[in-house]
Amino acid sequence: MLRIVSILLGFVAFLTAWLLTRTLYLAPPPATWYALLPIVLVILTWMAVTRYSGWRWALAECTAAILAAWPLTFAIWPPGTDPADAGDEFLVPVSLNIPEALTRTSGDLPQTLKAVPGLKISVFADGLQTPRMLTFSPAGDLYVSLPRSGVIVVLPDRNRDGVADRQEIFARNLDLPHGLAFDGNALIVAENGSLTRLSDRDGNLQADHSEVLSADLPAGGGHWTRSVVIGSTGDFLVAAGSSCNVCLENDPRRAAIIRIPATGGSADIFASGLRNSVGLAFHPETGELWGSDNGRDRLGDDLPPEEINRIVQGADYGWPFCYGRRIPDPDLGSTTRCNRTEPPAVEMQAHSAPLGIAFGHRLDFPNSYRNMLYVAFHGSWNRTIPTGYKLVGIPFTDGRPSGPPQNIVSGWLKGRRAWGRPVCPAVGPDGALYLSDDRAGIIYRITMGDESSEGR
């Protein structure tokens, strides 16, 4: 009897361990030590079964548990149905143009992407270490944040040939610099715990004066990026993501957009309930603020939807109590609480990871593409069928979304591995759309129609 009980307990323990292993593969945890739990459980169970029933029973039970765990996890974590290439049926192959000056570092990139007919895609700059947010100076130079390096780089193109002339380090030794915006000729940088103004007084593309406008940003990990835009009154609006997947934040500045006066100083809450709004942009006609928002994890492949929100002062967008159109979160939500929240203007495929956004009103594109909000999908990290890894456009009419997201450029995902991850689109003074890629380490330049450029 004791042997039967030990065999049954051993099988249950093995099954639990393999279920944990499989589930953690589908939904990787934030802490590495979680992955040690099933390993320790397997080792202890193997030792116990071997002691009481022999190694053959241990091997048989372990094998049976693996075979049982595989189909059971699909019931626990249903696989999604929307792959990364969903919506690509209207796209055509487009050769990635790599200028001769860049072939030594970019020559091993895949040579083809997919895009709407008429688009041309070239490499504007390469060899950058995880480039993130983009902004253009009043002089027309492109500035790029490299948070992991603590650096801001400027990429001038003074001869206007569609290729950066050089990479100039504008500022260094910054604390995870991310969001960028120009206030006149001064560059505003959203660091992890502060908002800084950098000035280049002698015009040599290197910052020679630094001023901390505010140290009232929530520092720390979780969602560590800070994004910034400048309102019509000169106030700075800074997005700070949550410190967790889903929790009750102790700091009201997390999972919120905060406002800092034009003169600097302390922050107040502009909008809340935004888990991780990396992309912020003002509509060119209405002046209204729009933002992307990344939904929580561990609700399966297709929940919750990613969001595009019209950001209204004082509004609550739901997190961590609700997601999507006022749907209560299974952990913390309630219908009463969710009825007081602001629903998203656009819902998008879960786990797409929308980051930077840009309105296309200054693009040298046909009207249908100018009247779009461009959103960079960074791509999923814990979905059974990968999704994202593309640039999409959301049609706008009279200042409001007028259609579902449309694929504009894709092709960065090959099988289950992505060679590139789009981060931030920006419209250049030349009417081209620029796009950063923090995995390939490059900036793309996207144009419409005939352009002569040297390269291959």
One-letter amino acid at 51 equals R
Q: pTM to 2 decimals?
A: 0.84
| DSSP 8-state assignment for residue 2 | H
Using the structure block, give the residue that is written with the tokens 């604390």. Answer: 175
CB 198 within 8 A of CB 208: no
| DSSP 8-state assignment for residue 373 | E
pLDDT (0 to 100) of residue 30: 40
Give Dmax (Cα) for the chain: 87
pLDDT (0 to 100) of residue 45: 77
| Residue 226: CB atoms within 10 Å | 28
Distance CA 308, CA 395 (A): 12
2-26 vs 36-53: helix crossing angle, rounded to 10:
160
- pLDDT per residue, tens digit, the chain (456 aa), is 656 666 676 667 667 766 666 555 554 444 444 556 777 777 877 787 777 777 787 788 778 877 776 676 665 555 666 666 788 999 999 999 999 888 666 667 888 999 999 999 999 999 999 999 999 999 999 999 999 999 999 999 999 999 999 999 999 999 999 999 999 999 999 999 999 999 999 999 999 999 999 999 999 989 999 999 999 999 999 999 999 999 999 999 999 999 999 999 999 999 999 999 999 999 999 999 999 999 999 888 899 999 999 999 999 999 999 999 999 999 898 899 999 999 999 999 999 999 999 999 999 999 999 999 999 999 998 888 899 999 999 999 999 999 999 999 999 999 888 999 999 999 999 999 999 999 999 999 999 986 544 333
Question: Would you state the structure tokens that stand for residue 214, as one six-digit string?
Answer: 């505010």
- For 3, the enclosing helix (H) or strand (E) is helix 2-26
What domains are defined for the chain? 2-76 (no CATH), 88-448 (2.120.10.30)
Strand pairing class (354-359; 209-214): unpaired
Q: Which residues pair with 114 in a beta bridge?
A: 93, 410
Tell me the torsion sign for CA atoms 145, 180, 443, 418.
positive
Strands (E), 249-402: 256-260, 268-272, 280-282, 289-293, 306-311, 322-323, 327-328, 346-348, 354-359, 372-377, 390-397, 400-401
| Residue 417: CB atoms within 10 Å | 8
Helices (H) and strands (E) in the chain, counts: 6, 31
**What burial class does residue 33 get, using C-beta atoms within 10 Å of its C-beta: 0-12 exposed, 13-18 middle, 19+ buried?**
exposed
Question: Would you state the structure tokens that stand for residue 96, as one six-digit string?
Answer: 């990635």
pLDDT (0 to 100) of residue 454: 37
